Amino acid sequence: NGDSPPTVSMAELDHLVQIISKSHLETCQYLREELQQMSWQNFLQDEVERYQSKPREVMWQLCAVKITEAIQYVVEFAKRIDGFMDLCQNDQIVLLKAGSLEVVFVRMCRVFDSQNNTVYFDGKFAGPDVFKALGCDDLITSVFDFAKSMCSLHLTEDELALFSAFVLLSADRSWLQEKLQVEKLQQKIQLALQHVLQKNQREDGVLNKLRCKVSALRSLCSRHTEKLSAFRAIYPDIVRTHFPPLYKELFG
């Protein structure tokens, strides 16, 4: 009935960890070494002001493009997760439509500098003030706070990979046709995540902290949708003609 966790051998869990970690590293957009080479360069004040003085719609379009690029990597990640492509096409679409932006937010902690409260964006590290022209200060603050709290967990790449897969394979999304199959896959991923956390000798509370992040992610994504609706109400033509088609498909 889907309530009892599936029986999985240690070897199977190790294999799942290996596959998902590999998928994550192959599709994570930026390798840690590449980020280190960027030497955590921050935008200068005049560059910040240039972003701030962009028209609202231009900044929205720029962010939509960056989000869409990141989402394309998440789609590739999903495709390489064991069992994802075995789900029916409807459910693959449902899971990505609901979860791809959530995974982008999870992945953000890899490109986030907690000490300076900056994130890698458009070639350098940007603080929340860079995004002022969007007119969504509250959402931006929440996104930065989320990245900071994810960073404070100091997840390894393996742990981050499995948590991303866990988020993506959420069995409680609306409109799933084969909910039970998604549920089984998510339970296996959760067991693999627990397995890795134990192996890495993480304290017991980490899994609970990660579970709390799931609801924070949902809140961030629904607020993004609200902000987009408000923006679209004022600039319908900009969204229609200038926003990336994939972004419109996912959030329209």
Region binding other proteins by CB under 8 A among candidate stretches 94-102, 161-169, 189-197, 201-209: 94-102
**Left (φ > 0), alpha (ψ -120 to 50) or beta: where does 122 sit?**
left
Helices vs. strands in the chain: H and E counts, helices first: 11, 3
Binding residue (CB under 8 A) for other proteins from 41, 52, 53, 90: 90
- Looking at the Cβ atoms of 107 and 132, the one nearer to other proteins is 107
Q: Residue 205, interface with other proteins (CB under 8 A)?
A: no
CB 234 within 8 A of CB 56: no
Region binding other proteins by CB under 8 A among candidate stretches 50-58, 76-84, 164-172, 212-220: 76-84
203 secondary structure, DSSP code: -
Q: Provide, rounded to whole angstroms, the least separation between the CB of residue 4 and other proteins.
A: 30
CB 131 within 8 A of CB 59: yes
Region binding other proteins by CB under 8 A among candidate stretches 39-47, 89-97, 137-145, 192-200: 89-97
Sheet holding 112-113, edge to edge: 112-113, 118-121, 124-126
- Looking at the Cβ atoms of 26 and 137, the one nearer to other proteins is 26
Q: Residue 80, interface with other proteins (CB under 8 A)?
A: yes
Binding residue (CB under 8 A) for other proteins from 94, 147, 155, 206: 94
**What is the distance between the alpha carbons of residues 154 and 157, in angstroms, rounded to a whole number?**
10
DSSP string, 210-237: HHHHHHHHHHHHHHHHHHHHHHHHH-HH
DSSP run (H or E) holding 244: none
- Looking at the Cβ atoms of 68 and 187, the one nearer to other proteins is 68
| CA-based nearest residue to 215, from 162, 154, 149 | 149
**Sign of torsion, CA 55 108 189 76?**
positive
- Binding pattern for the stretch 159-178 against other proteins, x by CB under 8 A and - elsewhere: ----------------x---
SS3 72: helix
Q: Residue 93, interface with other proteins (CB under 8 A)?
A: yes
- Binding pattern for the stretch 220-249 against other proteins, x by CB under 8 A and - elsewhere: -------------------------xx--x
Binding residue (CB under 8 A) for other proteins from 29, 92, 142, 225: 92
SS3 173: coil
- The site for other proteins (CB under 8 A) is made up of 72, 75-76, 79-80, 85, 89-90, 92-94, 96-97, 175, 245-246, 249-250
